[in-house]
Amino acid sequence: MKLEFFGAAAEVTGSCHILHVDGRKILLDCGMIQGSRKDEERNRDPFPFEASRIDAVVLSHAHLDHCGRLPLLVRRGFRGPVFAHQASCELTTILLADAAHLAERDAEYRSRKSGKRIKPLFTREDGENVIRQMQGRRYRKTFDVVPGVRVRFADAGHILGSCVVEVWAREGGDERKIVFSGDLGQYDTPILRDPDPIDEADVVLMESTYGGRNHRERSETIAELGNIFTAPRSRKGNILIPAFSIGRSQEILYQLGKHYDEWDLARYRVFLDSPMAIEASKVYWENHNLYDEEATRLRLENGGMPLLPNLTLSRRTEESMAINRIRSGAIVIAGSGMCNGGRIVHHLKRNLDREETQVLITGYQARGSLGRRLVNKEESVRIHGQTIPVKASVHTVGGLSAHGDQDDLARWYENIKNRPPVYLVHGEPDSQQAFADYLHRRNGAHVHQPTPGTVLDLAGL
Ligand SMILES: [Zn+2]
């Protein structure tokens, strides 16, 4: 009985760990490596195992860095079940279709440029094959993964359907309980419930993305948003909000709905200008049984979701182009979240050179992205080969992270009464070290930082 760390060990993306129990192999996540072009090329590398020899996959949630290599796993011979929360199955369907479309387009572009035929990382068909192997489960119901391995999903409060995975593994007469945190949300995050407390574990695999710091207070963030929407100059132009399609877009719509009167939003028209975000929003609106108390109450008071009466869902390209002709009073939520591509780029191109434009940056912007250049207040940016002067006001609104911060992570761990050893995954080395020190100081916890290939003997715990 052992656990092998493979991806997202000492880095942030590409979550994947291998559980060996009684001759069977189970993957916890099979995520994509994300970052620079060079990092992402590593997604094409062979797995350090035979895909056909994996018996089952347990997926924590529908983000690409957790599920994005499932299409490759299936293409390379994996035929077993992929267990995930029911809502994750729905979101993964949307996500993989979009990722395959981007991969196909990227391969076409690179083939044209290089004169060589470059295959996409995976195709739409590969993605559809994954969906056929997925099996939806609910929170707090135990199920068998393979003989000798049982799993129960707890709410991780990170995105809709996100799970903390509790695993009971039996080999010979021995049983061990392994808890895999997946990605943990902030406490008091909108729409979603708080992470479920876990009682006990023999070992915990824990994410540590923001283990080294605390986020801004959410109330300050909301006040800042309110100031932007109510400022007289905001009315004179458009407000552009680049946002990730799953999670962030829905949270922004929810905040706008919740503060609709307070921020006098009837003066605006709100556009969700992203087919993928529209699909993901529907999954959010339909799965209202997963909401926290506040979202449940607001939904009932409103007679359903979304909470915004002035929301337009813009699917077709022509609809998106029509938004471009609006000179004032539009709030536009569109992808991509880092402004690397997608419809937001067209809106930025049209509006950045106007002083009355407001740009709200609500998520992490990677180095080299257009979003990062805006955050850095560069005087001009290049879009589609054109130099555009940046006269718009760019607001970086912190505090909306889908990840728990240092206090959240410690609070989650401290629910586990027996203070089990911790293996930190999914974090940059600096934040891992900071969190390891913090947790050890507070609880005397034994905290380890595995590297890819580290093997943990579970029987020896
Ligand atoms: Zn995530």
- For the cut 70, the answer to whether the pLDDT of residue 155 exceeds it is yes
What's the confidence (pLDDT) of residue 9?
62
Q: What percent of the chain has pLDDT over 70?
A: 99
Amino acid identity, position 369? S
- In the chain the domains, ranked by start, together with CATH numbers, are 2-213+402-457 (3.60.15.10), 218-396 (3.40.50.10890)
- For the cut 90, the answer to whether the pLDDT of residue 312 exceeds it is yes
- Biggest CA–CA distance in the chain, Å, is 71
Q: How far apart are CA 285 and CA 247, in angstroms?
A: 12
- Other beta carbons within 10 Å of 116: 8
Q: How far apart are CA 61 and CA 70, in angstroms?
A: 12
- For the cut 90, the answer to whether the pLDDT of residue 340 exceeds it is no
Q: How far apart are CA 104 and CA 182, in angstroms?
A: 29
Cα of 128 vs centre of ligand 1, distance in Å, is 21
Q: Find out whether 187 and 218 touch, Cβ atoms under 8 Å.
A: no
Cα of 61 vs centre of ligand 1, distance in Å, is 7
Cα of 63 vs centre of ligand 1, distance in Å, is 5
Q: What is the pTM of this model?
A: 0.93
Q: For ligand 1, an ion, list residues with CB under 5 A.
A: 63, 183
Kindly tell me the burial class for residue 112, based on how many C-beta atoms sit within 10 Å of its own C-beta (0-12, 13-18, 19 or more).
exposed
Amino acid identity, position 448? H
Cα of 361 vs centre of ligand 1, distance in Å, is 19
Cα of 403 vs centre of ligand 1, distance in Å, is 8
Cα of 68 vs centre of ligand 1, distance in Å, is 11
pLDDT band at 191 (very low <50, low <70, confident <90, very high): very high
Please enumerate in sequence order all residues whose Cβ is within 8 A of that of 420, keeping only pairs 6 or more positions apart, or say none. Answer: 179, 200, 201, 202, 203, 204
Amino acid identity, position 271? F
Q: Of residues 36 and 368, which shows the higher confidence score?
A: 368
Cα of 280 vs centre of ligand 1, distance in Å, is 15
What's the confidence (pLDDT) of residue 429?
86
Cα of 64 vs centre of ligand 1, distance in Å, is 8
Cα of 183 vs centre of ligand 1, distance in Å, is 5
Report pLDDT digits (tens) over 363-395. 878 778 899 999 999 999 999 999 999 999 999
pLDDT band at 257 (very low <50, low <70, confident <90, very high): very high
What's the confidence (pLDDT) of residue 13?
73
